[in-house]
Amino acid sequence: MISILLDTNLLVDEPNFTAIDETEEPVAMFTSSLCLAELLEGEFNDNPVLAADSIVQLAKAQLSFDGGIPFGEAELTAYRLVCAATVQSGRQLTRARRMDMMIAATALANGMTLATRNIDDFAVVKDVVPVVAL
């Protein structure tokens, strides 16, 4: 079985499952509690329409994925490896990049492939965490 961790952007828009459809193995989809936290941030948007849209997206994600995979001790250990890979690549671990790297660490700690639309955001960790564009 192939286990896929969906990045936040795939919870907002329907993923393109073409890459997954080509595999003959069963696929299980998961998300991280961190992705749900990113969706939750949208509730505080100054634009009430965007805030309401974020509430709907979060509710759908919670119904589909419960609370998501929590960021615990195993994920923390994996985060250390992901941070090291980021720094070794010559990129800085900026505040903007940290959440993505924590999501990548969740995939690594749980033996999953990370699926995202923003493949370039995870290029620095592709040797540590399997990443696929959906």
pLDDT, tens digit, for every residue of 48-67? 999 999 999 999 899 888 88
pLDDT, tens digit, for every residue of 61-88? 998 888 899 999 999 999 999 999 999 9
pTM for this prediction: 0.90
- Separation in Å, CA 25 to CA 21, 112, 133: 9, 14, 18
What is the spatial distance between Cα 126 and Cα 134, in angstroms, rounded to a whole number?
A: 15
* pLDDT of amino acid 21: 67
What is the spatial distance between Cα 61 and Cα 67, in angstroms, rounded to a whole number?
A: 9
What is the spatial distance between Cα 93 and Cα 90, in angstroms, rounded to a whole number?
A: 10
**pLDDT higher at 112 or 14:** 112
* pLDDT of amino acid 24: 75
Set out the domains of the chain in order of their start, with CATH numbers. Answer: 2-133 (3.40.50.1010)
pLDDT, tens digit, for every residue of 7-33? 999 998 877 777 666 677 888 999 999
pLDDT, tens digit, for every residue of 122-133? 999 999 999 999
What is the spatial distance between Cα 134 and Cα 114, in angstroms, rounded to a whole number?
A: 10
* Percent of the chain clearing pLDDT 90 (strictly above): 71
pLDDT at residue 95 is higher than 90: no
pLDDT at residue 105 is higher than 90: yes
